[in-house]
Chain A
């Protein structure tokens, strides 16, 4: 029972004064000896759509993975819903995650329903089997993202946009409070991108979610974000989209990348 409690306590305030939803304090990460993230500090409130922008190789994916507890920082602290990574490990069913690319074999013999059910795994628990409530949650997730009628279709037969929506349903069909999305619209054409973004903003309002959305597309993200941060190994900006777009520091962040590349470019953050 204590599994649900930490997150419930955080949201009903019984865990004491509620801190920010996400809090990173002077976080440093290096991979294979190279610094990837340097002195990242920011806080994020509830029900916020945070756009994370930065050039390719800026460490955006690494930042997401640090917040998810998949990478331990060298220095600094990460708190999500008031918990450090070790406690968060038991509360991952409150987090939905869509990685940049799901490299699956298109002939993989699973249906849309099966894929979305994977998202329930951590709610079901090890050594337990899906019950009626799980199937209902999966069905709800599929309907939320507008894939009703396609439940039995093999995942590989869906279009790119439909696959992305299936993976969004997989991230939503648990007790999701925060969505971490890593370039979820990459590879989609413009109408499909807009459709995805509109769906996302609608679901965020309806379900009271917080969204952390990583992209290199500053303009699109500025239209949907409440808050934006721009990183290029280190924090360059944190503010309202209107302050971020057109800011000199944004250009600076992207120029840094250019300097980085022409100045030798020993590594490219990434994963």
Chain B
């Protein structure tokens, strides 16, 4: 399996995606950005379509477009005093609609849209892996360097502001980093499913640990396992890579739920049998 270049690239890229998404998954869970992740990811479709129509690199177009949407979500919900989920609902459907219109104008249905939407194990070339690694390192560095500011901001923004914490920088930085992470993960996971990697690992981690350090570790283990197992399944059974990764991920989440020390479902089942 590893003799194939595409599989090597998919595994290396996939591991980067797993680590980066796991780190951000913590913030997505505690700051309730699951829908924001979903919205930004779908907005990438609009960006990809602009790229196709304008004849520029689709990833660059998607990155610019997603960052704009992320900042728009932040700006409209904070300044415009509209609920975050309302803003996301509007921007996300608008971007998708724009994408559909542009794609039909460009008569570009022959472009491999399916691989953008659902990800493809064959899609990565080495330059994609390099871009993925660079963005991943930058995004993780952002979290590592500003962790205490990010944590304070997502826990209690009011007190953080009154303590002189740059909350606006932290909030917009988080949204922009999430947008970039989404864009570079799209080729492998796909627009429709990428947000699962930003939601599920952290959610599984929260079942196991009651402290963010533990949540991060559990989230990392979950994401890496899902990506490796998912890619192997994708290779073996010729499945869409994003879909198989997400199914493994959700399977792990269900296991986490069942074995969560907090809920002790499984223990209770055994107890009732005894």
Residues of A at under 8 Å CB distance from B? 68, 70, 89-90, 92-93, 95, 97-99, 102-105, 107-111, 114-115, 117-119, 121-122, 124, 126-127, 129-130, 152, 154, 167, 170, 180
Contact = CB atoms under 8 A, between A and B. Distances in A.
Q: How big is the B interface, by class? A: 20 to 34
28 contacts: A68-B162, A89-B164, A95-B162, A97-B163, A99-B156, A102-B156, A102-B158, A102-B159, A103-B156, A104-B155, A104-B156, A108-B30, A109-B209, A109-B210, A109-B215, A110-B155, A111-B210, A114-B211, A115-B155, A118-B151, A118-B163, A121-B148, A121-B149, A121-B163, A122-B163, A126-B166, A127-B145, A129-B148
A109 B152 contact: no
A140 to B, nearest CB: 18
Contacts of A92: 162-164
A202 B206 CA distance: 39
B21 to A, nearest CB: 18
B165 interface: yes
A68 B164 CA distance: 10
B214 A109 contact: yes
Given A118-B155, A121-B152, A110 B164 contact: no
B210 to A, nearest CB: 5
B160 interface: yes
B86 interface: no
Contacts of B149: 121, 126
Interface of B: 30, 32, 145-146, 148-149, 151-152, 155-156, 158-166, 206, 209-212, 214-215
A118 B211 contact: no
A233 to B, nearest CB: 22
Contacts of B146: 126-127
A122 B151 contact: no
B159 A99 contact: yes
Contacts of A102: 156, 158-159
A110 B151 contact: yes
Contacts of A99: 156, 158-159, 162
A90 to B, nearest CB: 7
A107 B211 contact: no
Enumerate the 7 nearest inter-chain pairs by beta-carbon distance, A residue then B residue, closest first.
A92-B164, A97-B162, A118-B152, A99-B158, A154-B210, A122-B163, A122-B164
B206 A122 contact: no
Nearest to A89: B164
A93 B163 CA distance: 7
A170 B164 contact: no
A155 B212 CA distance: 12
B163 A109 contact: no
A118 B162 contact: no
A195 to B, nearest CB: 22
Most chain B beta-carbon contacts within 10 A, residue among A92, A107, A108, A130:
A108
B164 A130 contact: no
A121 B170 CA distance: 13
Most chain B beta-carbon contacts within 10 A, residue among A68, A105, A118:
A118
Contact of A118 (B160, B166, B209): B160
Most chain A beta-carbon contacts within 10 A, residue among B156, B160, B212:
B156
Contacts of B151: 110, 114, 118
Contacts of A111: 210-211
A6 to B, nearest CB: 14
B206 A107 contact: yes
